[in-house]
Every structure is written in structure tokens, then in C-alpha cells.
Structure 1
Amino acid sequence: MRKMAIKLVLFCLCFWRLDDVFGQKIKLVKPGDSVTLNSGLTEIMDNDVVRWRHGPGNTLIAEINKQTDSMTVYDDVLDGRFRDRLKLNNQTGSLTIKDNRHEHVGDYELERKSLRKSFFITIIDEISMKEGDSLTLNSGLTEIKDDEIQWKLVLEDILIAKIKKQTNGITVYEEILDERFRDRLKLDNQTGSLTITNITTEHAGVYELDINNVRKRLFLAVYNEISMKEGDSLTLNSGRTEITKGEMIVWLYMNEFIINKFFDNIIVNEDVLDGRFRDRLKLDNQTGSLTITNTTTQHTGRYILYTVGSKQSLKAFRVSVYGE
């Protein structure tokens, strides 16, 4: 579905906004990591011209012109944000961006003849925790002066804590969301940092810190740990008895979209990551649970389920598949 705005991840934008999970490739990247935007080509033909553009102005950032046998990266454009970060594959035209930062968030487009291929990069600061742990979300301040500080849950669009120094007021909203934060929130009066104690999977999500309208977002993943033997089937339970009409579910593996469902449309991206999921994915149409058959050690890693509708939810799994 075109241009569907969702209040989700990644980690930036609407931070985790999925503009088009059915057409646009979404890349979720941690700060400092590299990401490769794959052209989908095995080889560029002799008369091909491949161009990469970025941002609302469609700024040209890289080009391969086989007609003139030239390859150029324009890493000084846009105030030099791409300087020494772009690497272009001369054979396939794929583009690698190194050391990603928040200024690299946004749309990227591949142009080749009549072909257009779109990508969206979002940067996410991720914190991983286990149930029962405590977590402090740091404000980055050593002392609050005349600041107004707010902490929000982005998916739910709900304020959970705030400090207004001018009125010397501190408020934590423990009663929200079925009281999942009851007796768990502590706001530091000096720094504005927020501590959440005795974390459960209900506390996973995207948290936003707002200091005088300057915002920073963090993704908290509270993992269910699963260990299994190679060759077995694995079912990642959504925790739902039914997916209601109009809800959208998205499953990711290591930041790659592997399966999406919206209304009666199910999109399976089983060819990602060298096809390791090919003929192995099965989505329960009623509950949204995901089954992976004939698992191998390649299926070890992080899986995340997003459910988007009248209510948004996030569930994370860390799977370890071991050999015989």
C-alpha cells in the first residue's frame, strides 16, 4: 500500500515510519554501522548508466556510466555528509554507505534506464535487555537548568514522565497503558534521566526524549530467548489469538523485512540474505505467529514483530540454532 505512514520504528522520521513496506526497501541501521543498498543486478551492461540519488531534492550522490567507462561518487554534496563514506560496486552498481549517522536517514533511489528502485534508511539506537533487568535512559545532561524534559512512548504516542524546572514540577504517569509502569519509573531530578525497573516484554518499544523540543529516540528491545536444534521447526508466537481487520503485522530478521501482512495481502521476502528463508516461512493468518521450518544455524539472530493498528505493539526474540 503506497505511502502508508505508520508510527513505528527504527530507529527516525516518524522514527520507525514504514512509508511503503510493500514496495520500498526499508533499512534499519545502528549508528556507525555500514549498510549496502543492493541494485539487484548481477552485472551492469556495456551501455548502462546507473545513478543513485538521495533526499527530497533527489541529489545525485553516485554514478556509474559504462558508456564513458566512468564511476563517480559525489561525496561533497549536501554539506559533505557522505565524505569518505560511499563505496560503489563497479560490477553490480550496489551502493555501500559506511559509518551511518542520523544525517544519512532518508530516501535513496536507484535509477537505471526505466528502472526505479527505492530504499529508506533509518538509524536506530538500540538497547537490549532481559526481563527483570533495570534500565536507565540517559538524558545526556549533567544538570537541568531552565529545561523542560519529556519522555514519551512513540508507538503509543503517550507521555510517561516530565520535568519542568521553571515550576519545579516532576510527574510520572504510572497509571497509563493498564499500569504497566506502576512502581517502575524513577525520574532523576538533576539530570532528567529515566530509570525503568523490573522490565518486562510489555516495556519494549521506542522511547523519545524531548528537551526543549530537541528530540532523541531509543529502541528498547526486551528479548524472549529461544535455543533450538538445527533441523527443527520454530514457531515465534505473536501472543495474539486474532489479528483484527485493518491491523498490519511486520516480521523482521536482523533488520530485514521477511514477511508482512495487511488485510488479506501477505508479502513474503524469502529471498533476502542469500535466500536462507526460501520455502521455510509460514505465517499464521489468524494469529500472526511465524513458523520457520527446517532451521539451520543461519537462522540464528534477532527477530522482531510489529503489530500496527488501533494499538501498536512490539515483540522481540533472540534465537540460537545449534548444530548436531
Structure 2
Amino acid sequence: MEGYSVTLNTEMKDDDQIQWRFGTENSLIAEINKRVDRFTVYDDVLDGRFRDRLKLDNQTGSLTITNITTEHTGNYKQKSNTVENHFRLTVYVEISVMEGDSVTLKTGLTEIEDDDQIQWTTTFGTELILIAELKKRSYRITDDFLNKRFRGRLNLDKQTGSLTITDITSEHAGVYNVYNKRVDINFALALYVEISVMEGDSVTLNSSLTEMKDDDQIQWWFGTERTLIAEINKEFNRFTVYDDVLDGRFRDRLKLDKQTGSLTITNITTEHAGDYKLQIATRKMSLKAFRVSVSDSVHCCGPTEAVIRLVLSALVGVATVIILVYDIRSRRAERDRAHIHTSEIELSFLTNLFCIFVRINKLWLYMFIFFRKY
């Protein structure tokens, strides 16, 4: 994902000389000479697109690219004395929205040239589907495929080629690509799943996977700072939680499901409220987003719950008045018939009134628990 980091892994022997190269120009971006203990990065090449972003591992020779952008999409080659490895790196622009929102996928172009031909595609299963195409003098939108899920929702900017999707539903989440001779950008579009939880409870963020594949890589990120809190690399059988980040707010609270990659947060507090992102990388990229809200024990009511409480309170109030009126009339009639002493009536009345309120409060509590549960 754009803004994240990626490591291209390799192994290095004691006498190795390693070169890292990028792109069709085969530009040298880093090299290692283990014999003379020299490790060099050339991050000013290609107009400085790698400046302050390259890190070499002195032990393994692996190359890490930090704060990655779509400019770093392309082919990487690592060559040593004995082996040559090739990597194809695809960088996705991450976009997360709420259901019903609109989103614009931008090409980054200011104006379409005369010979430009821009194509927008999305994937459905293993199939790549053209959904929009723009030339200088013409454009077309193919929004009737796949049960018409895009019908009336796609708009093309004729000047820049950017694509807007309106009234988004879960059917529109997925991967999109825009391509022409000047741009090649991938977008990962996800919808937020909203989750509300009480402070002290546990919550599981579901990956929607039934079982991870052998080459799956999963990363869980938290907050606007995009802090990595957990990851799985199935190929190396590595399952890691980083619960000491962010001043230890997740310490001893994170649990990873090794079969599905789902993440559980236990004994949750208001510090854990916020946005969580799940990135699943195999041959394809997918993104899931969760927005978790945590209510404390005092302010535990959402809008729906507040309405329920108001209705219940009104019903309890009406019931109380009816019962009191009935009780008073009954007591007066009983007093007239039996000529019971006034003080005895008042004591009995207060005792019964207290019992009535206890029963009403119990009824209110049971109804509240019922609505909270269902």
C-alpha cells in the first residue's frame, strides 16, 4: 500500500557482491561489497524518487523501501556472484469509505493529450473487466456488466480521466486500475465495517478468510499513523504481534488466529477506538477496513439505545402513575370499610409503594438487557 514499507528479501554470503537494479532502465539503486564491507544506496537516481527511502540490511543484503509511492511500482532485480532474483512490485493507493459515499480515483493527470487512451479496469474473480475508456474526442462507460452493479454510478472526468464512483456499496469494494502510456496506478477500495463495543469487552476483527494459503501475507494496521500492530507471513510460518507500539496501549491484548488471520483485541478501552486496516497480499491485493467505537460504562448509549431508554422510561412513568392512583383509591375504599387507623394505612401504603418501585426497576432492567442483547 502507498505510504507503507516493503522489504525485498535475499541472502548474502561472506564474499558476495550484490547489486540492486530497478525498472526498464536497469538503474543501479544499491550495491554491496562484503569483502571490503561497503554498503551503498544510490537514492538520487531517477529524479530522486528513492531519496531517503532505501535501507540495506548489512547481514542479509535485503533491500527495504520506506514510505512507498506509486512511482516505485515496477521490476526490481538483485544480482550476486551466484544468483539472480527478480521481483515485481505493485503499489496500491489505499482508499476506505463508508457505504453510500462517493469516491474519485485520480489519474494524477492535469489534461488528456490528443493521443491519450485511458482505460479503467476492475477485477472480478480471475477476470479483468473494462469499466470505462477515454480518448481525447470520445469516451464510453460499460456499467451494465455483473448484474448492473455499476449502472448509473460511474462518471469520467473528460479533462483528467479520473473516475468517480457514487453511492458505493459492498459490491464495489475491490481493486481498480487506470492505465495509459503515462500512468499505471492501482487502487484498493474498501468499505468500513462499523463495530461498537463496551469498554472491558473483547472484539474480533474478521478477515473473512476460512483458511490462509501457503503464500499469504497479512498485516494489521491501526490509526491515522498507520501503525503496524500484527502480521503473518505464512511462507515463513511467522505470526507476530507488535503490542508494545503506541506506548504499549495494546500490550497483552492482541491475539492472532493462525488459521484465518483474524485479530482479537481483549479488555478493550477507549484508547483502542479508531480505524483498523487489514491488508492481505498474495498474487492479488485486498483491503478491509474497520471503524471501532468503544463506549465506557457511563456513556454507553448510542442513538438507538438512547431512544429505547426514553421509550422505556416513558412507559415506566405511565405505569407508575396508574398503579399509584389505583393503589390510593383501593386504600381509601379499604379504610372506609374497615375503619383502619390512619397511621397504619400510611405505613402500609409506603411499604407497598417501595415494593412497586423495586418491581418496576427490575422490569426496566430486564427489558434493557433484552434490547441490548437482541
On whether the aligned pair clears a TM of 0.5, the verdict is yes
TM-score by length of 1: 0.58
Task: Assess, with a 3 A threshold, how the Cα gap between structure 1 residues 267 and 323 changes in structure 2: closer, same or farther.
Answer: farther
Which residue in the other structure is 2:131 paired with?
160
Task: Assess, with a 3 A threshold, how the Cα gap between structure 1 residues 270 and 101 changes in structure 2: closer, same or farther.
Answer: same
Q: Is the 8 A contact 1:187 1:194 kept in 2?
A: yes
Q: Is the 8 A contact 1:147 1:165 kept in 2?
A: yes
Task: Assess, with a 3 A threshold, how the Cα gap between structure 1 residues 203 and 306 changes in structure 2: closer, same or farther.
Answer: farther
1:101-139: CA deviation from partner (whole Å, max 9, x where unpaired): 44534446597x999999764322222211111112234
Q: Is the 8 A contact 2:253 2:266 kept in 1?
A: no
Q: d(CA) in 1 for partners of 2:293 and 2:82?
A: 42
Tell me the C-alpha RMSD between the 2 structures. Answer: 5.2
Q: d(CA) in 2 for partners of 1:50 and 1:226?
A: 51
TM-score by length of 2: 0.52
Q: Is the 8 A contact 1:134 1:199 kept in 2?
A: yes
SS of the aligned residue for 1:72 comes to strand
Q: How far has the Cα of 1:153 moved from its partner?
A: 0.8
Q: How far has the Cα of 1:223 moved from its partner?
A: 2.1
Q: Is the 8 A contact 2:243 2:253 kept in 1?
A: no
Q: Are 2:90 and 1:122 equivalent residues in the alignment?
A: yes
Q: Which amino acid is the alignment partner of residue 133 of structure 1? A: D
Q: How far has the Cα of 1:248 moved from its partner?
A: 8.6
Task: Assess, with a 3 A threshold, how the Cα gap between structure 1 residues 78 and 202 changes in structure 2: closer, same or farther.
Answer: same
Which residue in the other structure is 1:282 paired with?
257
Q: d(CA) in 2 for partners of 1:153 and 1:295?
A: 40
Which residue in the other structure is 2:157 paired with?
188
Q: Which amino acid is the alignment partner of residue 257 of structure 2? A: K
Q: d(CA) in 2 for partners of 1:307 and 1:87?
A: 24
Task: Assess, with a 3 A threshold, how the Cα gap between structure 1 residues 304 and 108 changes in structure 2: closer, same or farther.
Answer: same
SS of the aligned residue for 1:202 comes to helix
Task: Assess, with a 3 A threshold, how the Cα gap between structure 1 residues 59 and 152 changes in structure 2: closer, same or farther.
Answer: same
| Residue from 193, 198, 202 that aligns with 1:224 | 193
Q: Which amino acid is the alignment partner of residue 236 of structure 1? A: N
| Residue from 257, 260, 277 that aligns with 1:302 | 277
Q: How far has the Cα of 1:204 moved from its partner?
A: 1.7
Task: Assess, with a 3 A threshold, how the Cα gap between structure 1 residues 60 and 198 changes in structure 2: closer, same or farther.
Answer: closer
Q: d(CA) in 2 for partners of 1:294 and 1:48?
A: 49
Q: Which amino acid is the alignment partner of residue 176 of structure 2? A: Y
Q: d(CA) in 2 for partners of 1:247 and 1:118?
A: 20
Q: d(CA) in 2 for partners of 1:200 and 1:126?
A: 17
Counterpart mapping for 1:220-259 below 5 A? 220-228=189-197, 229=199, 232-236=202-206, 238=208, 251-254=218-221, 258-259=231-232
Higher relative contact order, chain-length normalized (CA < 8 Å, sep 6+):
1
Which residue in the other structure is 1:179 paired with?
148
Q: Is the 8 A contact 1:76 1:83 kept in 2?
A: yes
Q: d(CA) in 1 for partners of 2:295 and 2:77?
A: 39
List gaps (5 residues or longer) in structure 2: 245-250, 297-374
Greater gyration radius: 2
Percent identity of paired positions between Structure 1 and Structure 2: 34
Which residue in the other structure is 2:239 paired with?
270
More strand per residue:
1
Q: d(CA) in 1 for partners of 2:98 and 2:82?
A: 48
The count of residues paired between Structure 1 and Structure 2 equals 273
Q: How far has the Cα of 1:161 moved from its partner?
A: 1.6
Q: Which amino acid is the alignment partner of residue 106 of structure 2? A: N
